[in-house]
Chains A and B, each alone.
Chain A
Amino acid sequence: LLNMRERERIYRAAAFVVVLASGATAVALLPVGPFYPAPSFPAFTASPLRDGVVTFTRPVIVVEFDDGEEHIDYRGLLPAGSPNPIGVFRSIAAEADSALDPATAAWLMQRLTELHPGREALSLRIDWTRYRFRAEDRGLISAETSESFVIPLDRP
C-alpha cells in the first residue's frame, strides 16, 4: 500500500502527463479538426493572404419571395449571440446533405417568416462564392460561385 506522500507524488506526475498527453492528442487530431476540450488557443490556420491576394469563400443568399427576389445577409439568419457566424452557417449549409435536408428548409422558413413578416418565401438559393481581392487596394479580382444549393421553401 502506498503512503500519502507516495500517492501525492503519483498524482503530481499523472497530472503533468495528462496535460502533455491531451496537448499531444490535440496536435495528432489536428487533421481531423480541433479537439475539444483540449489545452489549445485559437490557431488561425491557412493564411487567406498569399502573394498579395486575399482569398475567402462566403455564402451569397438570394431569397425568392412571392413579390420578387431579395439578397439577404447569411448572418441575419442566425440567432443572436451566435459565435463565429460563418463557422455556424457552414455547419448548416456548406454540404448538400445538410443544406437540402428538410429540417434546414423548415428552419429557414421559420427564420424568414420571423424576419420578413407578411411575405411568403418560395425558395432560397445559397451561392458559395469564392472571392479574390488585391490586398494593396482591396480591389475585387474575381467572385466565382463554387457551389450552389436551391432550397425549396413551399409551404406544405
Chain B
Amino acid sequence: MADIDPVTTEIIRNAFISIANDMNATLIRSAFTPVIYEGKDCSVALIDKHGDVLGQSLGLPLFLGNLEICVKLIAEEHGWDYFGNGDVFYMNDSYMTGTHLNDATIIMPIFWHGKRVGFAASRAHWLDVGAKDPGTPVDSHEIYQEGMRWGPTRLYEAGKPREDVIDLLRRNSRFGEATVGDMNAQVAAGRTGEKGMQALFDRFGEETIVAARDEIFRQTEAREREAVSALPDGMYRAQGYLDDDGLGNGPILVNLELTVDGDSMTVDLAGSAAQATGPVNCGITQTIAAARVAYKLLICSDVSPNGGSFRPLNVTAPEGTIFSAREPAPCGWYFSSLGLLIDLVIKALAPVLPDKAAGAHYGDSMVIMIAGQDPRRNDEFYLMIEPTTGGWGAFEGGDGQDSLINNVNGSFKDIPVEIFESKYPLRLLSYGIRADSGGAGRFRGGNGTYREYLVQADSNLFLWFERSKTTAWGLFGGGDGLPPKVSVMRPDGDRLELLKVNGLKVPAGTVIMSLTGGGGGYGEARKRDPEAVRQDVIDRYVTIGHARDTHGVVIDMNLEVDTAATERLRSSAS
C-alpha cells in the first residue's frame, strides 16, 4: 500500500463528496417529474471499482447504502468485465434492488486510460412503469401487476444508446416522454460523476486515490466502532404493527431484536410477519438499507457515508418474510414496513441513547393519488400523487416538528397550491396544521396536517395511509400522537372513512379531507412548563381544552395561565 499523508487524504475525501453532490444537483435540476425534482425521491453514489461507496449525496435516506449492493450483485452474476466502457445499465427488479419497480437504478462504469476505475450510480423514482393501475397499485398481489421488471439491461452500449430498448421503456409507461426524460437526467448525473472522477484520477493517479480511499474507510469504520462500543452490550427489543397489507390482511407484525456486542451490532428481524399477499414486501437489499438509515440516525450522523460505513452493522431476516421476499411477492408499498423498522430501531435503543433518540414520528408517507381526465386540457390523462406531512417526535430539549415530511421521504417539499391547482382539475380548500394531534409531554410531539381537496372532474381516488394501529409512540412517559384519518364526502351526501383504497370513483364535487397523525411526546405531560403550554395555545397548536386535559394547564379567557387552578389540577391528577 502506498503511503498517504493526511492532507492528501482530506482533499480526496472532500472531492468524493463534492462529485457526488454535483451528480445529485444535475439529476434534480434536469429531471422531468415532480417526484424527483420536488420530492428528491432519488439518490446518487460514486463507487469504486470493487463496488464500495466513495461518496454519496444525502438523497432519499432509504436508498442509502444500497446502490453499491446493486453493482456487486451484477458483478456476482456476470463478472466485473460485464461492465464495458461506455455502457449504461438500468435495473429495477425488486428482488435485486430491494425497492419497488418504479425506482430506476442506473449504473455507469467509469473508465480512465482504458481501465475501469469505478462507477457512477443513481436511483430515482419514475412516475409510471406500466403497472396495472397508474403509478403504483395499492392492491397488487403479484409483482407482475406492478410494472415491467428489468434485470440489469444496457441502455447504452459502448457509448451508443440502444434506441430499441429505450423505446421499449417509453412504450411501457403512461408517461413515456417523462420516463425517458428522467432516464436522461440520470445518465447526465452519471456523466457528471464520470467527469469528476476522471479529473481526480488525472490529478492524483490511481495509487494515491486507492491509498486515500483505504485510509478514509479505515477512519470511518474506527469512528463508528467507537460509537457502537459506547453502547452497553445486550439485547434490545421492539415491535409494532402495520395496519394491513392493502388487501385487508393484517395487522402485520414487525419484530426486532437488536444485539450490541462490543463494537458490532446485529439487527435480527426473525419473528416478523411472513411475506404478505399485498404489496408491503421488499427484497433484503432494501431491508439492509433501512437498517442502515436507522443506524445512521443514531451513530455518527454527521459523517458522510462511504465504504467504511456500516461495517459494524449486520442485518438478518429469514427468507420469505416481508423483509426478504421471494417471487412473486408484490413490493409496491415496500417502504411502509421499512419506515416502521427504522422507528423501531430507534425505540429499541432509546433507553441507552436518550440524548439521541426522539419520540416516534407519524410514520408513513400518507400517499394520496387522484387520477382521471382533465377537461381543461382536452381530457388528457392526469395523475396527481403526493405524500403528506405529519408530526415528528419530541426529544429532550425540544418539541417535535409540526407538519414535516416523513423519514423515508428525504427532502420532499409539498406541492404548492398554485402549482397544484394549475396542473390538476382539483382545488385545495384548506391546508394546515392539525391542532392537538401531537402526543403530550414535557416536550410536545409535533402536530399532523390537514389537506382538503375539492374534486372538479370525475376521477378515481387511491389512498395509502398507514400507522393507525401503531401510532407514534411517546418516550419516557410522553403521550402518543393521534392516528391518521381520511374522509370522502361525495356530492350526493355519501360519506366514507377509509385509509387505503384502490380506484374509488370520486365524481366532480367530491371533497376529500385527509388528516395525518402527530408525533410522540417526550417526558410526562404534567411536567411541561405551563408557559410553554400557553404559548402553544396562543399559536393555536393546542386548544384550551386539550391543554387542560392532557397537560393539566388551565388557560383562562385572556390566554393567561391560571396558576392556582393549574396547581390544583396537576396535584389532583398525580
Task: Tell whether A pairs with B.
Answer: no
Residues of chain B touching chain A, judged by Cβ–Cβ distance below 8 Å, are none
Residues of chain A touching chain B, judged by Cβ–Cβ distance below 8 Å, are none
